[in-house]
Amino acid sequence: MRPLPLLLPVLLCLATAPLVPAADDYAPGPDSKRQAGVPEGKLTKFTFDRSKIFPGTTREVSVYVPQQYDGAKPACVLVCQDGVQYQAPVVFDNLIHRKEMPVTVGVFITPGVLKALSTNQQDRFNRSYEYDGLGDSYARFVLEEVLPEVTSRLQLNLSTNGNDRAIAGASSGAICAFTAAWERPDAFQRVFSSIGTYVGLRGGNEDRKSTRL
């Protein structure tokens, strides 16, 4: 039983080591909290179920418009997968108020769902197909369907300059953001990718070529 003397110090170290805070213990910074005197933007939600690129899907789209938006010039745009993330409306309010970021409209899109045809079936969730899949389908979905719908519904003046647009996501939403910018760098020149699933789900681990010719 020679390993025992070596094992005991390890066990004692583990037993006396301070507990590592769990992810839920993370305290958001001040920019993620409402602050006195900061104008609050408006969050509008609607259901989008008329996609031709992902036919049959339905989803919620949330649009944040800062109070400083006046439509006089095109606003910057952030597109985010999986709906509202990262306390974004509150952070935007604080940073725009301090002029640390430009007036930016946030477009937060949930993954598509295909509704069950009967009570004996379950809804089908389209997230992996939309987010992990390669190619230009999701970029086209955002550019040709969602953003025009947002612009039309809310009468917004949004920039079409890629330098004024960002696309963001976490996990599968992160590789989705990267792929959209990879396929359409003219439309998205800023990407936020958090813990991206660049793995062998739908080819994200492989060398890729753009579908643009």
Q: Give residue-wise pLDDT tens across range 159-177.
A: 999 999 999 999 999 999 9
Alpha helices in 27-87 (DSSP H): none
38 half-sphere exposure, CB direction, 13 A CA radius: 22
Would you say 175 and 168 are in contact if contact means Cβ atoms under 8 Å apart? Answer: no
CA 106 from chain centre, in angstroms, equals 10
Residues 6+ apart with CB under 8 A from 33: 90
Tens digit of pLDDT per residue, the chain (213 long)? 444 444 434 334 434 445 555 556 778 889 999 999 999 999 999 999 999 999 999 999 999 999 999 999 999 999 999 999 889 999 999 999 999 999 999 999 999 998 887 777 787 888 999 999 999 999 999 999 999 999 999 999 999 999 999 999 999 999 999 999 999 999 999 999 998 877 776 666 676 665 554
Return contacts of 93-96, CB within 8 angstroms, 24+ apart. 93/34, 93/38, 93/39, 93/40, 93/41, 93/66, 93/67, 94/30, 94/31, 94/35, 94/38, 95/31, 96/41, 96/66, 96/68
Contact 88, 64 (CB under 8 A): yes
Rg (CA), the chain: 21
- How many other CB atoms sit within 10 Å of the CB of residue 17? 8
Look-up of token digits 């999701």? 138
